Amino acid sequence: MRESRLPVAVLGATGVVGQHLVRLLAHHPWFALQAVIASARSAGRPYREAVRWLLPDPIPQSVAEMSVLTAEEIPEGVRVVFSALDAASAEELEPRLARAGYVVVSNASRFRMHPGVPLLVPEVNADHLELLAFQEDFAPGCIVTNPNCSTIGLVLALRPLQERFGLEAVEVTTLQAVSGAGYPGVSALDILGDVIPYIPAEEEKLQTEPLKILGDLRGQRIEPADLRISAQANRVPVLDGHLLCVSVRLRREADAEAVRACWLAYRSPIADLGLPSAPGRPIRVLSEQDAPRPRLHAHLGAGMEVSIGRIRPCAVGHVRFVALVHNTIRGAAGAAILNAELMLRRGWLSLEHPKAGA
Ligand code: NAP
C-alpha cells in the first residue's frame, strides 16, 4: 500500500526532546517517521542502543531497530526534519539543511528571533506563518521555530487577556523542571534539596520571545507587542512541568473574576482545523486553591494544555495567577508537531514541496 503520510526525520532523536518527538511521531496519522538522526557519537548504532530512553512508555517498536544516522545521511524522500538539536549544533546544521531544501521545524533557540522566521504558537499567531513567503535566507527550504518552553505557557495564558483587556506589563517568576535542561542536564548534587536561581539565557528569552509572538504581522515583518516583561527563572527539583507565577498589568482595568471569566470563555481559534495534536481547549482553569501542580496537572490534555489557577488580585499589577506548562511536550516536542500540522493544513507542506536532499 502506498504511504500517504509525509516522510519526516527527527534530528537530535536521542535527546530528551528528541525522545518525545519519536514517541509522538511513531504513530502519527499525517507524518511517517523514516529516520532518527543524532551526532557521530550515536550514528551507526540501533536506536535502542544509542538512546538512553527516559520515558515511561517503551521505545516504539517501529523505531527501536532503526539505525541512527548523521545529518549527512537523511534518506531520500524525507522533506521535513523536526530538530531537537542543542543550540550550538542547530546554528550550523539547521541553515545547512534548510538551504538543501528541507523544511526544518525546530525547538532550538538559535533562529527564533530571526526577523524572517515564524516563532509559532498555532493558537496565538498562526498568521505569522505568512513570513515564510518572504523567508529568503534559508531557501529553498525554510525554518520554523517554537518558543522557549516557559514562553509557550506564558503566551498561551496571556493571549486571551491581550485580546480582551490589552497588556501593559508582566512580571513572571518561573520554577522550571530539570528535564528542561536536557540529558544528563543538571547534576543531582546541584539540584537535590535545592533551588538554583539561575538558568543561562532563560530570562532574556522570556522577556523577548513573547513580544514577537504577541506582535502583529505587518507585511513582511512582525511589529513587536508594546509590552514590558520582567522575568526571573529558577531551576527546581521537579521532573517535568514548568510553573509560572505571573502578575499582569492590563490596559483596561479588570478584576480577578473578569480575568477568570475571560479564560473560561476562551475558545481556541484553530479548533476547527482538526489538527491531531491540538488540545480541545488549550487553557484549563483549575479552581482548587493549591493548583496547578507539576506532578498532578502537567500531563493534562496529553501534555498539551496549559493549566491556570490561583487567580487573584495583585497589589502591583491588576491580577496574579499561576500557570503550568509541560516543558517537553507543549513546551517542545508537541509544540513542534502541532506547528507542522498547521503548516500541512495551511498548504506550507505537501508531498511535492520542497525537494529533499538537493
Ligand atoms: P539534549 O538532551 O542535550 O539532546 C541534544 C540532541 O542533539 C541529542 O540527540 C544529540 O545527539 C544531538 N546532537 C548533538 N550534536 C549533534 C550533531 N552534530 N548532529 C546531530 N545531532 C546532534 O537536549 P534537549 O533537552 O532534548 O533539547 C533539544 C533542543 O530543544 C535544545 O535546543 C533545547 O534548547 C530545546 N528545548 C528543550 C526543551 C526541554 O524542555 N528540554 C524545551 C524547549 C526547547 P547525541 O546523543 O548523539 O549526542
For residue 352, the model assigns a pLDDT of: 55
Among the atoms of ligand 1, which is closest to the Cα of residue 13?
9
User: Is the pLDDT assigned to residue 64 strictly greater than 80?
Assistant: yes
At 103-162, the pLDDT tens digits run 999 999 999 999 999 999 999 999 999 999 999 999 999 999 999 999 999 999 999 999
Q: Which three cell numbers stand for residue 82?
A: 523536526
* Mean pLDDT to the nearest integer, 57-81: 97
332 pLDDT band, cuts 50/70/90, is: very high
For residue 140, the model assigns a pLDDT of: 96
For residue 176, the model assigns a pLDDT of: 98
81 Cβ below 6 A of ligand 1: no
Do 170 and 229 meet the contact criterion of CB atoms below 8 Å apart? yes
pTM of the model: 0.96
71 Cβ below 6 A of ligand 1: yes
- DSSP secondary structure code for residue 224 in this structure: -
For residue 354, the model assigns a pLDDT of: 45
Q: Which residues contact 226 (CB under 8 A, 6 or more apart)?
A: none
- CA of 303 from ligand 1 middle (Å) equals 20
Among the atoms of ligand 1, which is closest to the Cα of residue 106?
30
| 107, 186, 235, 338: residue to mutate for ligand 1 pocket, most atoms within 8 A of CB | 107
53 Cβ below 6 A of ligand 1: no
- As a whole number of angstroms, the distance between CA 204 and CA 356 comes to 35
- How crowded is the C-beta side of 275, counted as CA atoms within 13 Å? 28
User: Is the pLDDT assigned to residue 355 strictly greater than 70?
Assistant: no
221 Cβ below 6 A of ligand 1: no
User: Is the pLDDT assigned to residue 2 strictly greater than 60?
Assistant: no
12 Cβ below 6 A of ligand 1: yes
* Mean pLDDT to the nearest integer, 266-276: 97
Q: What are the domain boundaries of the chain?
A: 6-148+333-345, 149-326
150 Cβ below 6 A of ligand 1: no
147 Cβ below 6 A of ligand 1: no
Gyration radius of the chain's alpha carbons:
20
The answer to whether residue 242 is catalytic is yes
- CA of 236 from ligand 1 middle (Å) equals 20
Q: What is the mean pLDDT of the chain?
A: 96
User: Is the pLDDT assigned to residue 356 strictly greater than 50?
Assistant: no
- How crowded is the C-beta side of 331, counted as CA atoms within 13 Å? 30
- As a whole number of angstroms, the distance between CA 263 and CA 161 comes to 8
User: Is the pLDDT assigned to residue 1 strictly greater than 70?
Assistant: no
- Please state which of the four CATH numbers 3.30.360.10, 3.20.20.140, 3.40.50.2000, 3.50.50.60 is assigned to the domain occupying 149-326: 3.30.360.10
For residue 56, the model assigns a pLDDT of: 94
- CA of 95 from ligand 1 middle (Å) equals 16
Could you tell me which residues are beta bridge partners of residue 284? 307
- As a whole number of angstroms, the distance between CA 200 and CA 146 comes to 19
For residue 350, the model assigns a pLDDT of: 73
User: Is the pLDDT assigned to residue 20 strictly greater than 70?
Assistant: yes
351 pLDDT band, cuts 50/70/90, is: low
For residue 143, the model assigns a pLDDT of: 98
- As a whole number of angstroms, the distance between CA 63 and CA 46 comes to 9
User: Is the pLDDT assigned to residue 358 strictly greater than 60?
Assistant: no
Instruction: Answer with the residue of higher pLDDT: 61 or 4.
Output: 61
6-148+333-345: CATH topology is: Rossmann fold (3.40.50)
Q: Which of 171, 163, 161 is nearest to 254 (CA)?
A: 161
* Mean pLDDT to the nearest integer, 178-188: 95
User: Is the pLDDT assigned to residue 347 strictly greater than 90?
Assistant: yes
- As a whole number of angstroms, the distance between CA 328 and CA 298 comes to 10
The burial of 273, by beta-carbon neighbours within 10 Å (0-12 exposed, 13-18 middle, 19 or more buried), is given as middle
- CA of 342 from ligand 1 middle (Å) equals 23
Catalytic residue among 242, 297, 318, 326: 242
- DSSP secondary structure code for residue 69 in this structure: B
Taking CA atoms only, the protein residue closest to ligand 1 atom 11 is 38
84 Cβ below 6 A of ligand 1: yes
- DSSP secondary structure code for residue 71 in this structure: G
